[in-house]
Amino acid sequence: MTPRERVLAAMAGEMPDRVPFVVWNNKLPGGSIDQQLLDLEACIVNKSTVYHFSTPGIEIETEQLQSKDAYARKHIIYHTPAGVFSTTVRLCESSVWIEKMPFSGPDDYDSMEAFIRSKVYTACYDEFLKEDRQYPGQSLARPKTIYTPIQQLVCKYMGVQMFCIEWEDRRDRLLALCDVIADDRRKRLKLVADSPARFAVIEGNVIASVIGPERFEKYHIPYIEEACELLHGRGKWSAAHLDDNNKTIAPLVAKTSLDMIESFTPPPDCNLPLAEARRVWPEKTIQINFPSSIHLRGPAQVQKAAVEILHQATPGNRFIVGVSEDISERGVNTLVPLAKAVYENGQTPIRAN
């Protein structure tokens, strides 16, 4: 099987000939290490998109800020018919960090709604397919995450502190904004469902200690199920990027129609052991993010931990080892040993110790 075929087999619930190993393209260190990873049959997951969007009627002003460190920053101001709001972002090596959230207070509700309602989406399927086939037999394109409405507020518009304030002080107004986001989300989901993508990530980055099981069940799961129904009707798998402490919401996640949990991070970084997650989610594929902290221990400990993780995943079906979060020094000394450990010890069926 090719590395890509292994990943797709794992997503389908089948048993590949060995456990797939994936690396997100924005986590690749570059140079000869990338080729070594390909030689060890890694599959590169290209973070991509199946649509672009424009905002007719919205004037967008961008200011380059003086750098306080090695990273560039932009201050972006949105002029809408209902008011003005702004955000500040920091451009890092492999991602963009929001330093000032767009939503600053209750005066921004109307302008945020005007901005979201203005969005017009255009499919870019040819662009997606190019990235899907970048490494023949060894790549798979991943559409950008489409959050549930509350998660969109937490991650992209408000941040945790502001969300908690608005939830307590102006919940009805916040939920009305969620309805606007939900309508926008359906437009994006339809484009993904009609696209050549094999799967879509329809939730992500849930902080269980902030959201809590009750709110997750009431406000997240219905939107997860809505998206799963659409995707499954088009023959696509659904996934959630759950890279935090998942123990308290794991039983609720088990009840969803999600096919895959992406970037699941076992101990020592998060609180749900892989073996327990496999028991709770027997019908879901788990793509782990190999714990980033272990890379700090050096190549030998990385390889030892990789073997231990593989044994927790016996017999190896519905399981993918991945690198999908930031790691120290971009893994220049540990990524190849990790890939080698998975390749040499991941032949299926894996036998329990």
- Reported as a single tens digit per residue, the pLDDT across 276-292 is 999 999 999 999 999 99
Grade residue 352 by pLDDT with cuts at 50, 70 and 90. confident
> Which residues are CB-contacts of 264 (< 8 A; sequence separation ≥ 6)?
242, 243, 246, 270, 272, 274, 277, 286, 287, 288, 289
At 248-260, the pLDDT tens digits run 999 999 999 999 9
**Mean pLDDT for all residues in the chain:** 96
- Percentage above 70 pLDDT, the chain: 99
What pLDDT, on the 0 to 100 scale, is given for residue 97?
87
The answer to whether 224 and 148 have CB atoms below 8 angstroms apart is: yes
Note the pLDDT tens digit of each residue in 302-342.
999 999 999 999 999 999 999 999 999 999 999 999 999 99
Q: List, for residues 132-179, the tens digit of each pLDDT value.
A: 999 999 999 999 999 999 999 999 999 999 999 999 999 999 999 999
**Quick one: pLDDT at residue 96?**
84
Q: With a cut of 80, say whether residue 95 has pLDDT above it.
A: no
The whole-angstrom distance between residue 335's C-alpha and the CA centroid of its chain comes to: 20
pTM, whole model, 2 decimals? 0.95
pLDDT score at 61: 96
Which pLDDT tens digit goes with each residue over 188-233? 999 999 999 999 999 999 999 999 999 999 999 999 999 999 999 9
